[in-house]
Amino acid sequence: MAVTDHVDLPTFMEGVNKRNPHQPEFVQAVQEVAEDIYDFIQDKEEYHSQQILRRIAEPDRVISFRVCWEDDNGNIRVQRGYRIQNNNAIGPYKGGIRFHPSVNESVLKFLAFEQTFKNALTGLPMGGGKGGSNFNPKGKSVREIMRFCQSFMTELYRHIGADIDVPAGDIGVGGREIGFMFGQYKRITNEFTGVLTGKGLEYGGSMIRPEATGYGAVYFLENMLKHKGDGLQGKTAVISGSGNVATHAAEKINQLGGKVLTLSDSGGFIHDPKGIDQEKIDWVKTHKTHRRGRIQDYCDEFEGSSFHAGKTPWNVPCDVALPCATQNELLGEDAKALVANGCIGVSEGANMPTNLEGVHVFKHAKMLFAPGKAANAGGVAVSGLEMSQNSGRRAWKESELQQMLRDIMDGIHDSCLTYGDQGGGYIDYVKGANIAGFKKVADAMLAFGVV
Ligand SMILES: NC(=O)C1=CN([C@@H]2O[C@H](COP(=O)(O)OP(=O)(O)OC[C@H]3O[C@@H](n4cnc5c(N)ncnc54)[C@H](O)[C@@H]3O)[C@@H](O)[C@H]2O)C=CC1
Ligand SMILES: O=C(O)CCC(=O)C(=O)O
């Protein structure tokens, strides 16, 4: 007779902790999901007996490899590269590549785990994966970046493929790096397929992929406000980060009638009470992407703004907030400050930017709070559309893609309403996203039997 392992949540988490020592980010991401899933599967014996959550929280594959490259002074440098293939129940592994000194197995495992649910929420057939390296692109020459990307791909290429695993960009990996990696993949394999997304438009990229994550996070915020009979017109917004997601979120807030007050980087944040309009956003984009400068230089350029070294922007009073930099950048006390200052909505452009305590503060305050796996899914969604365009050997028009992005973000919002409605007008978007994402992957896994 089969023995059904029906452990409770604390026992389940004890096991996750034991099996993943020294991986706090991964354990945190699993805990956040498990808190909601345990409720949902309470009366669903099949998910328990088939150990579905336990299986999703164990990556299909953790690939780690050496990346050797030569710097401009002829020194041989050695970095560690990774690809985490978390789950491919509903499609090929899909998720970005991050180059940042903080990259380790824990960070990438949490990102690949989150990606699994996020990709399911988009409604597109994509599994979850993530990769990267502890390589620090800061201060490196373009030729050094190119050599690193080529060396990284020289190992990664054997693990990926257009129907196997399709990486894209993330922190420290933008269009330039994708170009270097795609060029190397093509050279090694002698094939031209949609093996990476976020490519340049000249060689198979999709319109609006660079904009999609930031725009999508604002669409999701707008949907939450609309559901309450409100909108973004006239709202003040505090945004962290100054990279791809942050600048495009700022752009869309402006387009929808809001006013952006802050941007940041790892050195601190800038506060511009006059508002960061499109001209200023364009300056930030050029400064960050081409000059590779620091956000504090903004204050030399735009009168009336101030720089706050070593600080995050969460104490600046605002109507809405969009953390768009990195994980665990918004802590419990920051969440309390936002609530106390009258902030009504938070949309996570970054992955897991709010720590568990912060999430609990927002939930307790019944705040409009969109978790990253729902709010920032627009980026990977347009990546999925890039895959479709590549397979079909065609390119859709910008207007078509804009509409598809909006429809997908609307669909994710609807899924959150379905599974997150707590009654009395309160929608728990974290719960809604976790359950909707889990259910799709879990049901596919049930169909496959024990694999
Ligand atoms: N690029 C995309 O399409 C997607 C990105 N994301 C997430 O959005 C976040 C930002 O990614 P991107 O904008 O693509 O990267 P990026 O490399 O373009 O920008 C990252 C930004 O975060 C800042 N940052 C990094 N570490 C920081 C720290 N410790 N403290 C404060 N600021 C810090 C950097 O200065 C930079 O402004 C990440 O969490 C990423 O995983 C999520 C979905 C898709
Ligand atoms: O477009 C992609 O595949 C990557 C997106 C990503 O890394 C993310 O959603 O966090």
> Above 90 in pLDDT, residue 4?
no
Question: Is 162 in the same domain as 41?
Answer: no
Total count of domains within the chain: 3
Asked whether residue 380 is domain-assigned, the answer is no
- Atom of ligand 2 minimally distant from the CA of 198: 1
Last residue of a domain, one of 321, 347, 370: 370
Q: What are the residues whose beta carbons fall under 8 Å from the beta carbon of 232, sequence distance 6 or more?
A: 218, 221, 222, 225, 253, 256, 257, 258, 320
Burial 359-375 (b: 16+ CB within 10 A, else e): bbbbbebebbbbbbbbb
- Atom of ligand 2 minimally distant from the CA of 96: 7
Q: Is any atom of ligand 2 closer than 6 Å to the C-beta of 386?
A: no
- Atom of ligand 2 minimally distant from the CA of 119: 9
417-440 per-position pLDDT tens digit: 999 999 999 999 999 999 999 999
Last residue of a domain, one of 335, 370, 405: 370
Joined together, the tokens standing for residue 364 give: 């307790």
Residue 451's pLDDT is: 87
Residue with tokens 């006390």: 333
378 CA to middle of ligand 1, Å? Answer: 15
Orientation angle between helical segments 278-289 and 244-255, nearest 10 degrees: 170
Cα separation of 440 and 19, whole Å? 26
154 CA to middle of ligand 2, Å? Answer: 21
129 CA to middle of ligand 2, Å? Answer: 9
Strand duo 93-99 + 127-133: pairing: parallel
Per-residue pLDDT, averaged over 137-158, amounts to 98
423 CA to middle of ligand 1, Å? Answer: 35
Per-residue pLDDT, averaged over 338-355, amounts to 98
CATH number (domain holding residue 88): 3.40.50.10860
| Terminal alpha carbon distance of the chain | 20
348-396 per-position pLDDT tens digit: 999 999 999 999 999 999 999 999 999 999 999 999 999 999 999 999 9
Per-residue pLDDT, averaged over 250-254, amounts to 98
Q: Is any atom of ligand 2 closer than 6 Å to the C-beta of 379?
A: yes
> Above 50 in pLDDT, residue 1?
no
Asked whether residue 417 is domain-assigned, the answer is no
37-73 per-position pLDDT tens digit: 999 998 999 999 999 999 999 999 999 999 999 999 9
Last residue of a domain, one of 193, 223, 244: 193
From the list 312, 245, 309, the residue with the least C-alpha distance to 281 is 245
Q: Is any atom of ligand 2 closer than 6 Å to the C-beta of 248?
A: no
Question: Is 218 in the same domain as 363?
Answer: yes
177-195 per-position pLDDT tens digit: 999 999 999 999 999 999 9
Q: Of the ligands numbered here, which is closest to the C-alpha atom of 353?
A: 1
Residue 175's pLDDT is: 97
Cα separation of 41 and 399, whole Å? 40
| Of 290 and 304, more confident | 304
Q: Is any atom of ligand 2 closer than 6 Å to the C-beta of 194?
A: no
Q: Is any atom of ligand 2 closer than 6 Å to the C-beta of 172?
A: no
Question: Is 234 in the same domain as 350?
Answer: yes
DSSP letter, residue 49: H
Question: Is 70 in the same domain as 170?
Answer: yes
Question: Is 237 in the same domain as 359?
Answer: yes
Strand duo 268-271 + 306-309: pairing: antiparallel
> Above 90 in pLDDT, residue 250?
yes
**447 falls in which pLDDT band (50, 70, 90)?**
very high
Instruction: Output the ligand 1 site: residues, CB below 6 A.
Output: 169-172, 213, 241-246, 264-266, 324-326, 329, 349-351, 376, 379
Asked whether residue 407 is domain-assigned, the answer is no
CATH number (domain holding residue 301): 3.40.50.720
269-285 per-position pLDDT tens digit: 999 999 999 999 999 99
Asked whether residue 34 is domain-assigned, the answer is yes
Share of the chain above pLDDT 90, in %: 97
95 CA to middle of ligand 2, Å? Answer: 4
Residue pair 179/197 in contact by the 8 Å Cβ criterion: no
Give the bridge partners for 2, in sequence order: none
- Out of 244, 247, 328, 354, mutate this one to test ligand 1's pocket (max ligand atoms within 8 Å of CB): namely 244
From the list 325, 312, 300, 306, the residue with the least C-alpha distance to 243 is 325
Asked whether residue 71 is domain-assigned, the answer is yes
> Long-range pairs for 184-193 at CB < 8 Å and ≥24 separation?
184/149, 184/150, 184/153, 184/154, 184/157, 185/153, 185/157, 185/160, 188/153, 188/154, 188/157, 189/157, 193/161, 193/162, 193/390
Structural domain of residue 309, as residue ranges?
211-370
- Out of 83, 197, 326, 380, mutate this one to test ligand 2's pocket (max ligand atoms within 8 Å of CB): namely 380
Pick left, alpha or beta for residue 342 (phi over 0 → left; psi -120 to 50 → alpha; otherwise beta): left
> Above 80 in pLDDT, residue 213?
yes
Per-residue pLDDT, averaged over 280-291, amounts to 95
Per-residue pLDDT, averaged over 258-276, amounts to 98
Q: Of the ligands numbered here, which is closest to the C-alpha atom of 385?
A: 2
Residue 5's pLDDT is: 57
Per-residue pLDDT, averaged over 215-239, amounts to 98
Active site residues: 130
Question: Is 81 in the same domain as 176?
Answer: yes
DSSP letter, residue 285: H
HSE-up of residue 168 (Cα within 13 Å, Cβ side): 29
Question: Is 155 in the same domain as 115?
Answer: yes
215 CA to middle of ligand 1, Å? Answer: 15
> Above 50 in pLDDT, residue 2?
no
DSSP letter, residue 297: G
Asked whether residue 289 is domain-assigned, the answer is yes
From the list 135, 119, 216, the residue with the least C-alpha distance to 168 is 119
Residue pair 450/50 in contact by the 8 Å Cβ criterion: yes
Question: pTM of the entire structure?
Answer: 0.97
Cα separation of 363 and 106, whole Å? 26
Q: What are the Cα distances from residue 99, in Å, to 21, 22, 114, 115?
A: 23, 21, 18, 17
> Above 80 in pLDDT, residue 3?
no
**6 falls in which pLDDT band (50, 70, 90)?**
confident
Question: Is 69 in the same domain as 170?
Answer: yes
Question: Is 100 in the same domain as 131?
Answer: yes
Q: Is any atom of ligand 2 closer than 6 Å to the C-beta of 197?
A: yes
Residue 33's pLDDT is: 97
Q: Is any atom of ligand 2 closer than 6 Å to the C-beta of 170?
A: yes
170 CA to middle of ligand 2, Å? Answer: 7
Q: Of the ligands numbered here, which is closest to the C-alpha atom of 352?
A: 1
Share of the chain above pLDDT 70, in %: 99
Asked whether residue 79 is domain-assigned, the answer is yes
Question: Is 232 in the same domain as 289?
Answer: yes
> Above 60 in pLDDT, residue 329?
yes
> What single string gives the DSSP state of each residue in 26-42?
HHHHHHHHHHHHHHHHT
Burial 384-399 (b: 16+ CB within 10 A, else e): bbbbebbeeeebbeee
**254 falls in which pLDDT band (50, 70, 90)?**
very high
Q: What is the mean pLDDT of the chain?
A: 97
Question: Is 34 in the same domain as 169?
Answer: no
Among 195-199, 279-283, 290-294, 317-321, which stretch is predicted with the lowest mean pLDDT?
A: 290-294
Asked whether residue 248 is domain-assigned, the answer is yes
Question: Is 247 in the same domain as 361?
Answer: yes
